[in-house]
Amino acid sequence: MGSTLSQKVWERHVVRRAEGEPDLLYVDLHLVHEVTSPQAFEGLRLARRRLRRPELTLATMDHNVPTNDAAPEEISARQIEAMAQNAREFGIRCFPMGDPDQGIVHVISPQLGLTQPGMTIVCGDSHTSTHGALGALAWGIGTSEIEHVLATQTIWQKRPGAMAVSVNGALPPECSAKDVILGIIARIGTAGGAGTVIEYRGSTIRALSLEGRMTICNMSIEAGARAGIVAPDEVTFAWLAGRPYAPKGPLWELALDEWRALPSDDDARFDREVTIDATTLRPYVTWGTNPAQSVTIDERVPSPDTFGADANREAAARALRYQELRPGTPVREIAVDAVFIGSCTNARLEDLRTASEVVRGRRVKPGLRALVVPGSMRVKADAEREGLDRIFREAGFEWREAGCSMCLGMNPDVLRPGERCASTSNRNFEGRQGPGGRTHLVSPAVAAATAIAGHFALPSDL
């Protein structure tokens, strides 16, 4: 029997395997940011340990950096300074605030060409699954595990299951990668991928750009999976070629041979398979407080009575109370106070291009706050070279510096209690974008159209 892509990557990284133990895996790249790492470095200091492989470690600051020209809040500044200090003390390359390569950790690593097919990548952040879009096996870890990886460059892991999600057919107009993943999560649920690595396959996935594949892999964690992965192909190789850390010359040829052998074998067996017909997808809007609680933009807010099990009915009722939504309300009639275009899910150049096309020559609904936060300073610079900043600004959007920003409300970009936001981010949990804030997850195109209309809308509604 053949192997799946994720099994192949796994097997190539086993340092030690013994009965009754998880596998000890080698980590090719460890990404570090300011929020989940300080306690790990402190642990190293207390135990007088050094980094095993500082050159396989990259640090940046993204979670709580300000994205306007204000100075960081004092408490955030201490964490940002600690990251810089830890990087100096332990010999780690760090892209600090103000550096042209600074940005959201999951945006900068692929952009630098550090994320490559067949690698193992970990980071103290659940959205590390993003890197799977290039055929890397990448997953989020906790702070104790960060300390372990810093000290040993390895991690103990139980072998995950393999799940296949195949998406086939042409995406309908106005549907994007974001709608594919929201549609997948709506079908399989918040624990649908539990204990597995999801391999996204099929003609729809193959036809997506690498950026779209990153959007999909990014939200694997919202389906409960350990990681998401897409087989590397010509799209992947074209994206990587020439990037600063991509292999060059004869090494590129060697790497290509290896990468071409990575896709799942034809006779590989998956523990679970789900097939989705892309032609049936529509743009999605979440109505609830977990990412599986969504409907298409053409539908209405559902009634809790339509949910079978008691627990689901109760959860839906609670979510509607929190979101202050009435069952039966058409999604297009829900007005929003804020629009956030950003995050490791949807703040790459392609996302900003899509959104800017929608708002070009139009004006944000008066009274509505609209933010564009590029995923990295490179994305910001590239967008500015194309004049996208001007389009957004002229439409009434704020054009910001790179960072996680309003995705998780760790910097001053937060919703006020009761405010409702159309957001291109990945989580609609209670209070995620600020205490009492209400989040609806959407694609960049829907977010942009919603900013103009003032309520959920498609570009074609404008």
Residues 415, 338 contacting (CB under 8 angstroms):
yes
How many CB atoms are located within 10 Å of the residue 309 CB?
Answer: 8
Q: The tokens 């097919």 sit on which residue?
A: 117
Give the DSSP H or E segment for 76: helix 74-90
Q: Which of 170, 254, 261, 462 binds another protein (CB under 8 A)?
A: 254
Q: Does 60 bind another protein (CB under 8 A)?
A: no
- Nearer Cβ to another protein, position 356 or 425? 425
Structure-token pair, residue 434: 């600020």
Give the DSSP H or E segment for 441: strand 438-441
Q: Shortest gap between Cβ of 190 and another protein (angstroms)? A: 6
Q: Does 194 bind another protein (CB under 8 A)?
A: yes
Q: Which of 186, 315, 373, 445 binds another protein (CB under 8 A)?
A: 315
Site mask, another protein, residues 388-427, x = CB under 8 A? --------------------xxx----------------x
Q: Which of 96, 101, 113, 207 binds another protein (CB under 8 A)?
A: 113
- Nearer Cβ to another protein, position 30 or 213? 30
- Nearer Cβ to another protein, position 398 or 430? 430
Q: Does 432 bind another protein (CB under 8 A)?
A: yes
- Nearer Cβ to another protein, position 290 or 296? 290
Q: Which of residues 68-107 bind another protein (CB under 8 A)?
A: 75-76, 78-79, 82, 92-93
Q: Which of 219, 221, 297, 446 binds another protein (CB under 8 A)?
A: 221
Rounded CA gap, 130 and 57, in Å?
17
How large is the angle between the packed helices 388-395 and 349-359, nearest 10 degrees?
40
Binding window for another protein (CB under 8 A); candidates: 205-213, 250-258, 349-357, 369-377: 250-258
How many CB atoms are located within 10 Å of the residue 96 CB?
Answer: 17
Q: Does 209 bind another protein (CB under 8 A)?
A: no
Q: Does 271 bind another protein (CB under 8 A)?
A: no
Q: The tokens 């990575």 sit on which residue?
A: 262
- Nearer Cβ to another protein, position 191 or 335? 191
Going by C-alpha positions, the residue among 195, 450, 447, 219 that lies closest to residue 342 is 447
Rounded CA gap, 443 and 346, in Å?
8
What b/e string do you get for 147-158 counting C-beta neighbours within 10 Å, with b at 16 or more? bbbbbbbbbebe
Q: Shortest gap between Cβ of 245 and another protein (angstroms)? A: 4
Site mask, another protein, residues 116-135, x = CB under 8 A? x--x----xxx---------
Rounded CA gap, 302 and 313, in Å?
11
H helix runs in 101-176, sequence order: 105-112, 143-152
In the DSSP assignment, the letter for residue 216 is H
Binding window for another protein (CB under 8 A); candidates: 136-144, 266-274, 277-285, 361-369: 136-144
Binding window for another protein (CB under 8 A); candidates: 205-213, 240-248, 271-279, 443-451: 240-248
In the DSSP assignment, the letter for residue 170 is P
Q: Shortest gap between Cβ of 449 and another protein (angstroms)? A: 28
Q: Which of 11, 21, 273, 333 binds another protein (CB under 8 A)?
A: 21
Taking each continuous run of H as one helix and of E as one strand, the counts in the chain are 15, 19
Q: Shortest gap between Cβ of 29 and another protein (angstroms)? A: 7
The distance of Cα 241 from the centroid of its chain, to the nearest Å, equals 23
Site mask, another protein, residues 335-374, x = CB under 8 A? ----------------------------------------
Q: Does 241 bind another protein (CB under 8 A)?
A: no
Q: Does 298 bind another protein (CB under 8 A)?
A: no
Burial class (CB in 10 A: 0-12, 13-18, 19+), 265: middle
Q: Does 63 bind another protein (CB under 8 A)?
A: yes
Q: Which of 6, 57, 130, 286 binds another protein (CB under 8 A)?
A: 57
Structure-token pair, residue 19: 């009965």
95, β-bridge pairs = 60
